[in-house]
């Protein structure tokens, strides 16, 4: 089995000053990539900031014989993100890989959550990813190659109490991934999403010690490497944690045809189990598949 090699490639990893992002940056550098290590150096809630976190990871990479640069841009600042991408291009001539890892937490039940805390989490996770993708996109189009890894979450895919803001932002990244993968296909740009389960400072308070020991961030990194590699799939959601790997799919059931009569709502309620039955469900290739399925059933019903 040939070792995955990233020699000659340039990667940007956001939120790479600690935790999972640090492991991503170290792994890519260990396999030959030149890595721009981005980290605002802020607290879990996104406040404050310092240069120390990013530079410390750069120092680790350089000490191990790799090449790396530090960057402290906030992903919420598009001008700063553009300058970050320019920093990588000026130094190394290209950007092959973007790992959108930066994030914050402001957990609270929805009833008690301030709207500003909801908005700020969306700003960092969703708009931060948008800013980074937008900034690297022209470069990747020009070079006809790119690998973008979004960081989604089981909280977005399946929900988690107290994380309405985080879950909404993380599921939004999946929607962004779905469309960018379609738009980037002809340009050699593959876009995927990683749903990690890892013990980092964002999650250490959620798990007991034995679970934390199993959920080391290093165990998630192989999935990132697969999604960032030249051989990567596209429009794939990989889940990873504690050495286990799964895939998540957004599916569409076959459903039924009821028409649009006066009692259709009542019929739908009565036959809802048929609508939600998973036999024959599909993973749609794009958003139009839903409409095509519905119109197909309508035309078939008309005979």
- Catalytic positions are 166
How many CA within 13 A on the CB side of residue 176? 23
First to last CA, the chain: 54
Enter the DSSP assignment of 93: S
Phi first, then psi, for residue 161 (nearest 5°) are -55, 135
**Do the beta carbons of residue 105 and residue 44 sit within 8 Å?**
yes
Question: What is the rounded distance in angstroms from the CA atom of residue 192 to the CA atom of residue 155?
Answer: 17
Question: What is the rounded distance in angstroms from the CA atom of residue 198 to the CA atom of residue 156?
Answer: 15
Question: What is the rounded distance in angstroms from the CA atom of residue 236 to the CA atom of residue 193?
Answer: 6
Q: Rg of the Cα trace of the chain?
A: 21
**Do the beta carbons of residue 133 and residue 97 sit within 8 Å?**
no
């Amino acid at each position: 089995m040939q070792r995955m090699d990233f020699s000659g490639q340039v990667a940007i990893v956001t939120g790479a000053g600690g935790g999972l992002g640090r492991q991503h940056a170290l792994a890519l550098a260990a396999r030959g990539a030149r890595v721009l290590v981005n980290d605002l150096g802020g607290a879990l809630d996104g406040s404050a900031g310092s240069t120390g976190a990013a530079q410390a990871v750069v120092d680790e990479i350089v000490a191990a014989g790799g090449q790396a640069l530090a960057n402290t841009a906030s992903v919420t600042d598009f001008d700063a993100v553009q300058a970050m991408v320019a920093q990588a291009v000026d130094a190394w001539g290209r950007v092959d890989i973007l790992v959108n890892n930066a994030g914050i937490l402001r957990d609270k039940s929805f009833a008690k959550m301030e709207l500003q805390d909801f908005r700020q989490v969306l700003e960092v996770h969703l708009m931060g990813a948008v800013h980074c993708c937008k900034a690297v996109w022209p470069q990747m189009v020009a070079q006809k190659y790119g690998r973008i890894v979004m960081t989604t979450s089981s909280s977005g895919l399946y929900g988690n109490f107290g994380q309405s803001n985080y879950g909404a932002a993380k599921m939004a990244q999946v929607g962004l991934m779905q469309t960018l993968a379609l738009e980037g296909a002809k340009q050699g740009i593959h876009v995927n999403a990683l749903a990690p389960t890892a013990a980092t400072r964002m999650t250490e308070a959620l798990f007991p010690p034995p679970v934390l020991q199993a959920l080391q961030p290093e165990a998630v990194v192989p999935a990132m490497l697969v999604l960032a590699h030249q051989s990567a799939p596209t429009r794939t959601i990989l889940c990873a944690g504690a050495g286990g790997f799964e895939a998540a799919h957004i599916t569409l059931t076959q459903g039924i045809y009821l028409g649009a009569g006066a009692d259709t709502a009542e019929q739908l309620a009565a036959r809802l189990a048929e609508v939600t039955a998973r036999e024959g469900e599909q993973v749609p290739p794009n958003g139009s598949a839903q409409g095509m399925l519905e119109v197909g059933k309508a035309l078939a019903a008309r005979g």
